[in-house]
């Protein structure tokens, strides 16, 4: 049975735009608090990403526990923009600590998830343990993992494990430089999105897609805004072809690959962009928030 996240009034204190995962259980006090702010809990229960852009930080293999705690303290103390949802994906070792330290400030996600359930799988971290550590999101199919040999089939299994546990998967897709040169960027992304085939609409709505051209990751290079928009629109259209169109429309498509404060407004402002997946620039509070502030509709 998937575990449904519990939202208490404490989780909502001081949070301008609460992120309430679909299916979450709200305590009576939390419901009252939302109603006083004129937010109908059912409306609020829609994925925040459907309306608010998401800025997701992928720390990769960076930061010790003291460093993660220091980041959380700084983020908590900083003036954060409203109208944008923040997610941090730290190394597994910092998940539980950060979920606690960032409560009401940002959500926490994993950078990967096991394709197996709990059991004799040495070194794997199962969905159940990620939920236990306070995760709400799980990145699947990041290009650094695909580069290490992950196939679409494996990514599809991981995605389903995440969904079954109530986690929102962030499915990364994107072409290599060679594939782009060969004019295959769109067909590669369409193929990678096929793992979403056959999902029930209610499940599909929980998914986020991150378009990350592999050659843009960590390189400082980005495609032109026109190229990004065309790929994001292509991903949205490909999603809609194979699935319930209304559910597919609710799947945010983020852009990732060398996003920084100086290019964030241009990228996040693209009509098809639902947010950003950020690596290097998510390691410092100032640059992470610099990106979040550039999101359209971000306030403060």
Interface mask toward ligand PGA for 156-195; x: CB under 6 A: ----------------------------------------
Asked if 85 is part of the footprint of ligand PGA (rule: CB under 6 A), the reply reads no
Nearer to ligand PGA, 151 or 219 (CB): 219
C-beta separation of 274 from 53 below 8 A = yes
Site for ligand PGA in 202-241 (CB under 6 A): 212, 217-218
Asked if 256 is part of the footprint of ligand PGA (rule: CB under 6 A), the reply reads yes
Decide: residue 283, CB within 10 A, 0-12 exposed, 13-18 middle, 19+ buried. Answer: middle
Residue of 107, 144, 150, 212 with catalytic role: 212
C-beta separation of 115 from 145 below 8 A = no
Q: Which residues pair with 256 in a beta bridge?
A: 277
The tokens for 183 are 């004019």
Q: List, in order, residues 6 or more apart from 283 with CB less than 8 Å away.
A: 57, 59, 62, 63, 71
- Identify the residue among 280, 288, 292, 294 touching ligand PGA (CB under 6 A): 280
Q: How many beta carbons lie within 10 A of that of residue 100, not counting itself?
A: 13
Closest-by-Cβ residue to ligand PGA is 279
The tokens for 105 are 């400030």
Q: What is the largest CA-CA distance in the chain?
A: 57
Please give the Cα distance from 210 to 241 (Å, whole number). Answer: 18
Cα dihedral 214, 144, 242, 239 sign: negative
Part in contact with ligand PGA (CB under 6 A); list of ranges 1-9, 105-113, 160-168, 255-263: 255-263
- Considering CB under 6 A, how many residues would be counted as binding ligand PGA? 13
Please give the Cα distance from 207 to 171 (Å, whole number). Answer: 7
Find the shortest distance in angstroms from Cβ 60 to ligand PGA.
7
Nearer to ligand PGA, 24 or 259 (CB): 259
- Identify the residue among 259, 268, 270, 285 touching ligand PGA (CB under 6 A): 259
Find the shortest distance in angstroms from Cβ 167 to ligand PGA.
18
Pairing of strands 137-140, 168-173: parallel
The tokens for 244 are 């319930």
Residue of 142, 144, 175, 229 with catalytic role: 142
Asked if 58 is part of the footprint of ligand PGA (rule: CB under 6 A), the reply reads yes
Nearer to ligand PGA, 83 or 218 (CB): 218
Find the shortest distance in angstroms from Cβ 278 to ligand PGA.
5
Clarify whether 42 is annotated catalytic.
Answer: no
Nearer to ligand PGA, 163 or 216 (CB): 216
Clarify whether 142 is annotated catalytic.
Answer: yes
C-beta separation of 29 from 9 below 8 A = yes
Please give the Cα distance from 87 to 17 (Å, whole number). Answer: 13
Part in contact with ligand PGA (CB under 6 A); list of ranges 12-20, 73-81, 105-113, 252-260: 252-260
Q: How many beta carbons lie within 10 A of that of residue 224, not counting itself?
A: 9
Nearer to ligand PGA, 141 or 156 (CB): 141
Asked if 258 is part of the footprint of ligand PGA (rule: CB under 6 A), the reply reads yes
Find the shortest distance in angstroms from Cβ 56 to ligand PGA.
8
- Which ranges of 25-89 would DSSP assign to H, the alpha helix? 28-36, 41-44, 65-77
Asked if 55 is part of the footprint of ligand PGA (rule: CB under 6 A), the reply reads no
By the criterion CB under 6 A, which residues form the site for ligand PGA? 58, 212, 217-218, 256-259, 277-281
The catalytic site residues sit at 142, 212
């Amino acid at each position: 049975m998937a575990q449904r996240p519990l939202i208490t009034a404490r989780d909502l204190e001081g949070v301008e735009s609460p992120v309430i995962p679909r299916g979450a259980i709200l305590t009576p006090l939390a419901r009252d608090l939302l109603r006083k702010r004129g937010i109908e809990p059912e409306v609020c229960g829609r994925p925040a990403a459907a309306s608010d852009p998401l800025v997701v930080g992928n720390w990769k293999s960076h930061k010790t526990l003291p460093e993660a705690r220091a980041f959380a303290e700084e983020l908590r103390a900083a003036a954060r923009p409203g109208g944008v949802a923040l997610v941090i994906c730290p190394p597994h070792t910092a998940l539980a600590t950060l979920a606690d330290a960032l409560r009401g400030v940002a959500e926490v996600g994993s950078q990967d998830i096991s394709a197996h359930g709990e059991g004799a799988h040495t070194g794997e971290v199962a969905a159940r343990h990620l939920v236990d550590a306070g995760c709400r999101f799980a990145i699947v199919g990041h290009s650094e993992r695909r580069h290490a040999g992950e196939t679409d089939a494996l990514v599809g299994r991981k995605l389903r494990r995440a969904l079954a546990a109530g986690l929102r998967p962030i499915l990364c897709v994107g072409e290599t430089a060679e594939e782009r040169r060969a004019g295959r960027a769109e067909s590669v992304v369409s193929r990678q999105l096929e793992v979403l085939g056959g999902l029930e609409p209610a499940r599909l709505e929980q998914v986020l897609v991150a378009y990350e051209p592999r050659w843009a990751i960590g390189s400082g290079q980005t495609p032109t805004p026109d190229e990004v928009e065309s790929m994001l629109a292509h991903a949205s259209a490909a999603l809609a072809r194979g699935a319930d169109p209304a559910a597919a429309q609710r799947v945010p498509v983020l852009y990732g690959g060398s996003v920084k404060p100086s290019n964030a407004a241009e990228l996040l402002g693209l009509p098809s962009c639902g947010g950003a997946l950020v690596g290097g620039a998510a390691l410092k509070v100032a640059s992470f928030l610099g990106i979040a502030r550039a999101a359209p509709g971000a306030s403060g």
